[in-house]
Amino acid sequence: MLITAKEIIVNSWETYSKNWKKLLPYMGLLFASSLTLGIIGIIGLKIEQYLFKGGLVFANNLLVAALVVALLLFTLWITIAMTKNLRQLVEKNEELNIKENFSQTGKYLWPVIWVSFLMLLTVIGGFILFMVPALIFAVWFAYYFYTVIFEEKNGIAALKSSRNLVMGRWWRTLWLLIAPGLFYGVIIMALQGAITMPLQIFWEKNSLFYIFSNSFINTTISALFAPLTALTTLYLYLSAKANPVEKTPETPAKV
């Protein structure tokens, strides 16, 4: 039987609260990467305001796009490495050395991107067929990230492995994906709102100081909560792996 939503919330918080110091390097890297992304976006827009139309604007946009792609790839790499380490902590195994962890997880970067692309195509195809198939596909393939980095699967095989963990308990999986994420999501949004709301009293929303401060605060909170939210789906995946769906034996054909 799959883990309950309450168990996911309790277990994820317990693991996070006991090990947050060990996760600080990953949170710091996520913070730095996300903040740099925001700063590049702000600076790129500001520079564009002072450039004339034409080649300079194109060069500026091209440079910003290249930096954004590079940082997104690095953020994904951090997420993969952090997830690997989170599993070690969940299963109470020896913590991975951060340098060694990054050297071992680099090989998963492109497989994760490729399988993400395949999933996106499948979900888009579901939307074309109407919304219900898209939702079905999205839940079927919810574990694709973990099947790539923990099961060494790639391409269609990773998607099939994820679907096999969901088949026979689709509604249950949907609930367990939504409930813990919603629980922590409300807390994160409330915390972000409570801290950034006072900024609106003293500074205009379009001022550079407000934009930067708002981005800094939201990025900090998101980075701090990143391991916690990642743990919710990791616990669900590990529960699904430990409790495979029992297949009904096929009835022999009558002679």
Give the DSSP letter string of 70-92.
HHHHHHHHHHHHHHHHHHHHHTT
Cβ 42 vs Cβ 215: under 8 Å: yes
- Quick one: which of 136, 148, 146, 174 has its CA closest to 238? 146
- pLDDT above 50: residue 12: yes
CA distance 115 to 145: 8
| Sequence-separated (6 or more) residues with CB below 8 Å from residue 1 | 243
CA dist 149 → 37, 79, 104 (Å): 25, 11, 10
pTM of the model: 0.86
Per-residue model confidence as pLDDT tens digits over 139-192? 999 999 999 999 999 999 999 999 999 999 999 999 999 999 999 999 998 988
Q: Coil, helix or strand for 36?
A: helix
Smallest CA-to-CA distance from 245 within 146, 172, 136, 154 is with: 172
Residues 205-240: pLDDT tens digits? 677 677 778 788 888 899 999 999 999 999 999 999
Q: List the chain domain ranges.
A: 5-242
Tens digit of pLDDT for each residue in 17-35? 999 999 999 999 999 998 8
pLDDT tens for residues 65-121?
A: 888 889 999 999 999 999 999 999 999 888 888 999 999 999 999 999 999 999 988
Q: Give CA separation, 238 vs 73, 87, 116, 162, 212, in Å.
A: 26, 9, 20, 12, 39
